[in-house]
Chain A
Amino acid sequence: MNPVLSARGVGFGYGDRDILRGVSVDLFPGEVTILLGPNGAGKSTLIRILSGILPPREGEVLMCGRPPGEFRRREMARLLSVVGQDPPVDFPMTVQAYVALGRFPHQGFFGGTSKEDLEQVERAMEKTELTGLRDRTLAEISAGERQRATVARAIAQGARVMLLDEPTAFLDIRHRVAFYEIVTQLKETCGIAALVASHDLSLCAEYGERIVLLSGGTVAAQGRPEEVLTPGNVHAAYGVAVACDRNPATGAIRVTPLRGMPTKN
């Protein structure tokens, strides 16, 4: 199977400070890939490069085998949606209006809103449990609810590839689980490819087909959860001693931190 989005030997940096070196990642349709790594490992930068905002200094990004620059913006946005770490919207905008902005690549610049647009927006809000908040403005809801609205906007965009930069950071456990269930559902019904940057090691082992562990700007390990989530890999990347076993209830890899001050690495 061909990857739908891939980074080949990608390097990036500002001046002589390297942020990424020789990073190769492939995203496949119908697969959830988890992007792990300590703060500052380069996860957000990699997502920006994959989404076409930052041009890589070395290597290349290929979307369906072509460089992102060859696509028109709206064409690209129909293929790829991104939940980034964006600044807050300083204007009074309702949740529904915000989610509806995700439909832009399907609408004419000058055209109106179609029935299909309304349905997709409604469905995205139902999935993320936001229908009750539709008329509230973004300033009136909590950080977790705003994060769900951002995910809803990406879902409404209806793309085949989703890049999500720490989409569960502000969510409670209910909405964390719900998030991964939504992504799994989109994967199974629509065959989307998703890359989710996260710090939740056990939960992502439950839902991710593959894990990419980024450390110091390079890929430290990549593969199935049981291949990547080993005490050695986790300690090398995070400097934290952990125990890794199988969760008896689900069979997925479970990562348990052990007490003790993290070491420098």
Chain B
Amino acid sequence: MTAGGKRSGAVFPVLAAALLGALVLSAATGPVSISPRAAFDAIFRGTDDTPGRVLLSLRLPRALLGALVGGALASSGVAFQALLRNPLADPYILGVSGGAAVGALTVALFLSADASPLLPLCAFGGAALAALAVFLLARRRSGVSPERLILMGVVVGAFLNAVIMLMVTLSPPGKIPGALYWLMGDLGLGTPRRVAVLFPYVALGTVLLYLLSRGLDLLLLGDHAAFQAGLSVERVKTATYLTASLLAGSVVAVSGLIGFVGLIVPHGARVLVGSGHRRLLPASFLLGGAFLVLSDTLARVASPAGELPVGAVTALAGAPFFLHLLRRNGGRS
């Protein structure tokens, strides 16, 4: 019994099965049909034929990338929500993803090196700076109101978008289409190498956040009450802010700007397991992974002319949901 309360133990197996199911569905969906037999042979016997190559070098990396990205975005959203005591927080809305995009673009456009391990680090730097800017701009002596924070996130995000457009325009012509597609949020760049680049960052970030669980529980009480309950508030907040920025930044570096996952998924996960972070964080990771993999599968089959960027699918679902939360929240305060 940590903060959260709801105890039904079956939630985690169900969520894990959902993620697995989403991965299988994603791997099975596409123009080249792959029989279960062929998939088995390709994975366990190393059979080298067309379905096997499609599966191992295209579909599975893309699906795994989706799971990592979705899980990391959802975890980052949970952390920002606890940090700011604001259920509307999400790395995309707060402008953190925009900061990460500027950081990643700096490397991708001007220093070259595709899928460089430097990319996530620079994106992390951009994310951390953007989060800091939004937080300082929103802060007043009376504290930070949720609405003001969202407003500053939008302002900083708009400014960063302009910077992004400027950078794309100034970049070598050959790189522009790829950069634009990446910006819209895309998992199509999922190669085994990118999955390998992203994995350590996501693993580090989610484990660190999990270790901060108790502190995140107490942050929900507000700074004063958390302090009086024995928490070193500033230390936990700094660690949370850096870790959440690392997760959001490294994800943006490989998959661009995918919005609203960090907003929708934690809300869903809270309904399932409550607000205690020892359960909420793993549940959000699994749910976020499943959600993004399914969204990506949908994006691939939805349009006959070509693929939709997955960011468009998550925004189509997420923006109305955000409005709903904003209205509900506004009515209460």
Contacts and interface: CB of A to CB of B under 8 A. Distances in A.
A110 B212 CA distance: 8
Contacts of B192: none
Contact of A102 (B4, B229, B329): B229
B214 A92 contact: no
Contacts of B2: 97, 100, 113
B229 A104 contact: yes
B1 A97 contact: yes
A110 B214 contact: yes
Contacts of A153: 229
Contact of B220 (A52, A84, A91, A102): A91
A191 B271 CA distance: 42
Contacts of A89: 220-222
Contacts of B222: 86-87, 89
A176 interface: no
A90 B214 CA distance: 17
B165 interface: no
A66 interface: no
B228 A101 contact: no
A104 B86 CA distance: 22
A184 interface: no
A53 B3 contact: no
Chain B: interface secondary structure?
loop
Interface stretch (A3-11, A35-43, A75-83, A221-229): A75-83
A104 B220 CA distance: 14
B218 A104 contact: yes
B217 A101 contact: yes
Contacts of B229: 77, 81, 101-102, 104-105, 153, 157
B117 interface: no
B282 interface: no
A38 to B, nearest CB: 22
A78 B230 contact: yes
Contacts of A157: 229
Given A73-B227, A73-B231, A90 B86 contact: yes
Given A77-B228, A97-B1, A107-B214, 5 more contacts: A53-B227, A86-B224, A92-B275, A93-B5, A113-B1
A-B interface, 4 closest residue pairs, ranked by CB to CB distance from nearest: A77-B230, A94-B5, A105-B230, A97-B3
30 contacts: A52-B227, A73-B227, A73-B230, A76-B230, A77-B230, A82-B225, A84-B228, A86-B221, A87-B85, A90-B329, A91-B81, A91-B220, A92-B270, A93-B4, A93-B220, A94-B4, A94-B274, A96-B1, A97-B275, A97-B276, A100-B2, A101-B3, A101-B217, A101-B218, A104-B214, A104-B229, A104-B231, A135-B6, A153-B229, A157-B229
